[in-house]
Structures are given as C-alpha cells and as structure tokens.
Amino acid sequence: MADMRDHVWGCLVGGAVGDALGYPIEFMSEDEIDTRFGSKGIQTLEQAAELAGEPQAIFSDDTQMSLFTAAGLLYGVERHRVPEISDIWLAYREWYATQGNKQYLDDPAHPKLWLTSMDAMQHRRAPGTTCLLAIQGGVGGTIFEPVNNSKGCGGVMRAAPVGLMAYCLRKGTRPTVEQRYHWASAMAAESAALTHGHPMGWLPAAVLAQIIERACVPNEPLEQIVTRSVRDVAAQYESFPEADVLVDMVDSAIALSKESHATAEDDRAHIHELGEGWVGEEALCIAIYAALSYCNDVGKAIRCAVNHWGDSDSTGAICGNILGAYLGMDAIKASFNLLSLEHIDVILRVATDMVEVGQE
Ligand SMILES: [Mg+2]
C-alpha cells in the first residue's frame, strides 16, 4: 500500500510543483526568463514564490481544477461506487463558485464537496475563459454534442486524477470497469468535453489519463506506456480524424526526446517544434517530451517543461503529473523543497482520500 500512496501522492504533488514553478513565468518571454534566472531558467519553488511576491510558491487553476476533478470522483465513489460524469460536472460547478461565483452553488451555505470550502481554493489564478464560460452556461458539453470549438489545454491539464482513480478502483475491491484503461480514457475525454468541444481539447485528456493509470504500475518503460496509451485512445476514438494526428504528434515528441539535450537551448528548440502548449495537443506533447527526456529525474524534467515562452504552468503540471505517478513522491521530494509549496496539506488530503478508495 505504501507503493500506491507513493504514486498517487507523487502524481498530485508533482503536478502542483510543475504548476507552481511555471505559473509566475507563464507570460514571460524566454529572454525575460533568462535575464531573470540565467540560461537554465527558473529552478526552485523559492524563486517562484519570490517572483510571485508570496511566502510560498502558489499553484494556479491547473492544480485547483485537478483537485476538483479528484473531489468529484471521490464524491462519485461515495454516492454510487463508480464515479459518473455528473459527479465531475458538479465538482467543476463548485470550482466555478470558488472563483467568485458562489451564487452558482445549489446551496451556497453547504457545498457538497469539502474542497469547495477550503481557503486554499478561494483564489483566482488566471482561470481559463473557456472553462469559466462553459460552466457559467450551465450545461456541459459531450464529445458528440460539443459545448464550443475550443481545444485549449484546460481539458488535459486537469485530467490526471481520472487516471489515478482508475488505478485506485482497480486495486480496490469495488466493482471496477470491465475494460481496463478504457474507463479512464472515456471518463477523461468526457470530463474535458464538458468545457472543451474540439477533439484536440479532449483527446489529450484521454491519453493523459491512460498514461497516468499505467504509470502508477511502472513495470514497463515510460516510452512504452506513452506509445500504448496514445494508440489505445486513437483506436477507441477512431471516428475522429484528430486521433491519428495526435498519434503522430506524440511520436514526434518521443523522437525529439532522443535528440541532444546538451544545453537548455536544445530543449527549447525541441519544444518549439512541438508548439507553445496553449492548446491541448501541444501541452500534452511538450509534457511528454520533457518527461521522456529526463525520465529518471523529475527535477530536470519539470524544469525543462516550464522554461519556455509558452503555457509553462500547464506543461509543467502535466509533466509533473506523469513523472510523479511514475517515479513516486520521494523523487519529487528529492528534487524540490516542498515546504515552499503552498497548501500541500490540501493536496495530500485529496491524494490520501484517493488512496483509501484503493484500500477498501
Ligand atoms: Mg494555470
């Protein structure tokens, strides 16, 4: 069981570390990053805290929404053993309430999720407009009835807990899904499609959830986990032509991860070939590139994933989710001073609740 905790904690904390390291440089150019931190870029949570003018490094909407994904899944387990998409929709509405919209709660005095009442969640940290508008609209989308045509990375950046829940359900004694891995990818796809209607808004979420579920049982190389996951999802959603495009993009990320990493400039050049990360497929591929480039060193991987001119907090968060799940909590601790990360108690409480699902 220590193993399970290691992977689940590692995934959620790793994601928060990547998010918190990238958040203060999300809108900085590479020249600005280099001028401030040197050519290797931002390295520590202490630097992130200082740049944000806070006592500890702060995480953004990526981590907030990931925690709400987890909270919705946990609520679903409580209510009907295997979570449903409506549980996640409820959680996203409660996240929306924390962004200054308490009137949207069914009962503002008594939100259904404990997370909603936490001080830690009552901050607006550059929430994505797509998410806000889709939730405000009151009716989430599905993959066949898209709510919009957005492929922003807001769908994939919050999907990791779906893979964790699939892993925990599989380990526990509760009735689980019939087809391994497909539950994770379907639930992640639909949960992303609640707010992001373009296939590249939700397909990367499906791939990430499968990667996370497999990475929690790290008995095969990470590259193989990635390759299998993206192909499995492409087969599951073969009616969408974007699925094959995503396979090609992930293959490019894998190929680039095998090229030279002699300097920080090499990594940036490779990342630029994959994009900037504002959209789902680019965020996933940049995170995969960084994770595979440094698959035994989560510190190097996360630093690689954030130090570019694109969507640093999301690429950092996804990379941290993947390698945190794969390498475990101790690897994160060895690379970053977690005393400098805000609200780690809340993250660990959510993570521990998930582990308990796997122990029942
Ligand atoms: Mg963010």
Burial class (CB in 10 A: 0-12, 13-18, 19+), 297: middle
Residue 281 maps to a domain: yes
Predicted confidence at residue 107, as pLDDT, reads: 79
Beta-carbon contacts of residue 329 (< 8 Å; ≥ 6 apart): 5, 6, 7, 9, 10, 13
Residue 11 maps to a domain: yes
Predicted confidence at residue 110, as pLDDT, reads: 81
Distance 62 CA to ligand 1 centre (A): 5
Distance 250 CA to ligand 1 centre (A): 22
The dihedral sign for the CA sequence 27, 93, 188, 118: positive
Distance 64 CA to ligand 1 centre (A): 9
Q: CATH code at 9? A: 1.10.4080.10
Q: How confident is the model at residue 60 (pLDDT cuts 50, 70, 90)?
A: very high
Mean pLDDT, residues 72-93: 95
Cβ atoms 206, 250 nearer than 8 A: no
Distance 125 CA to ligand 1 centre (A): 7
Pull the structure tokens for residue 212.
């996370």
Shortest CA distance to 344 belongs to which of 52, 4, 54, 63?
63
CA distance 248 to 237: 15
Residue 226 maps to a domain: yes
Mean pLDDT, residues 72-77: 97
CA distance 310 to 275: 8
Distance 204 CA to ligand 1 centre (A): 17
Distance 127 CA to ligand 1 centre (A): 6
Residue 91 maps to a domain: no
Run of H or E including 242 = helix 242-257
Domain count, the chain: 1
For residue range 302-319, what is the model confidence (pLDDT) as tens digits?
Answer: 999 999 999 999 999 999
Predicted confidence at residue 2, as pLDDT, reads: 64
Residue 113 maps to a domain: no
Beta-carbon contacts of residue 277 (< 8 Å; ≥ 6 apart): 153, 283, 286, 308, 310, 311, 312, 314, 315
CA distance 14 to 156: 15
Mean pLDDT, residues 265-270: 95
Predicted confidence at residue 175, as pLDDT, reads: 56
Q: How confident is the model at residue 105 (pLDDT cuts 50, 70, 90)?
A: confident
For residue 108, is pLDDT > 60? yes
Radius of gyration of the chain (CA): 18
CA distance 143 to 322: 24
In 40-178, beta strands by DSSP E:
none
Least confident of 129-143, 280-294, 330-344: 129-143
Burial class (CB in 10 A: 0-12, 13-18, 19+), 351: buried
Distance 2 CA to ligand 1 centre (A): 30
Residue 86 maps to a domain: no
Cβ atoms 294, 332 nearer than 8 A: no
Distance 309 CA to ligand 1 centre (A): 14
Distance 305 CA to ligand 1 centre (A): 14
CA 36, 318, 350 angle in degrees (round to 5)?
110
Q: How many CB atoms lie within 10 A of CB 107?
A: 7
Distance 314 CA to ligand 1 centre (A): 6
For residue 177, is pLDDT > 90? no
For residue 180, is pLDDT > 80? no
Average pLDDT across the chain, whole number: 94
Least confident of 30-39, 118-127, 321-330: 118-127
Mean pLDDT, residues 273-280: 97
Shortest CA distance to 157 belongs to which of 127, 133, 181, 179?
127
For residue 155, is pLDDT > 90? yes
Greater pLDDT, 179 or 286? 286
Predicted confidence at residue 1, as pLDDT, reads: 55
pTM: 0.97
Predicted confidence at residue 223, as pLDDT, reads: 98
Greater pLDDT, 179 or 351? 351
Shortest CA distance to 327 belongs to which of 51, 6, 13?
6
Predicted confidence at residue 81, as pLDDT, reads: 87
Beta-carbon contacts of residue 169 (< 8 Å; ≥ 6 apart): 77, 82, 176, 177, 183, 357, 358
Predicted confidence at residue 357, as pLDDT, reads: 93
For residue range 183-210, what is the model confidence (pLDDT) as tens digits?
Answer: 999 999 999 999 999 999 999 999 999 9
CA distance 156 to 260: 28
Distance 317 CA to ligand 1 centre (A): 9
Considering only the C-alpha atoms of the chain, give the largest distance between any 2 of them, rounded to a whole number of Å: 55
Domain range holding 163?
2-58+76-81+152-182+203-359
Predicted confidence at residue 174, as pLDDT, reads: 62
Place of tokens 């690379």: 335
Cβ atoms 109, 115 nearer than 8 A: no
Residue 189 maps to a domain: no
Mean pLDDT, residues 143-158: 97
Run of H or E including 35 = helix 30-37
Distance 59 CA to ligand 1 centre (A): 8
Q: How confident is the model at residue 263 (pLDDT cuts 50, 70, 90)?
A: confident
Predicted confidence at residue 173, as pLDDT, reads: 66
For residue range 2-59, what is the model confidence (pLDDT) as tens digits?
Answer: 699 999 999 999 999 999 999 999 999 999 999 999 999 999 999 999 999 999 999 9
For residue range 209-225, what is the model confidence (pLDDT) as tens digits?
Answer: 999 999 999 889 999 99
Predicted confidence at residue 172, as pLDDT, reads: 74
> Would you give the distance in Å from CA 273 to the centre of its chain?
22
Mean pLDDT, residues 215-244: 96
For residue 178, is pLDDT > 60? no
Residue 102 maps to a domain: no
For residue 176, is pLDDT > 60? no
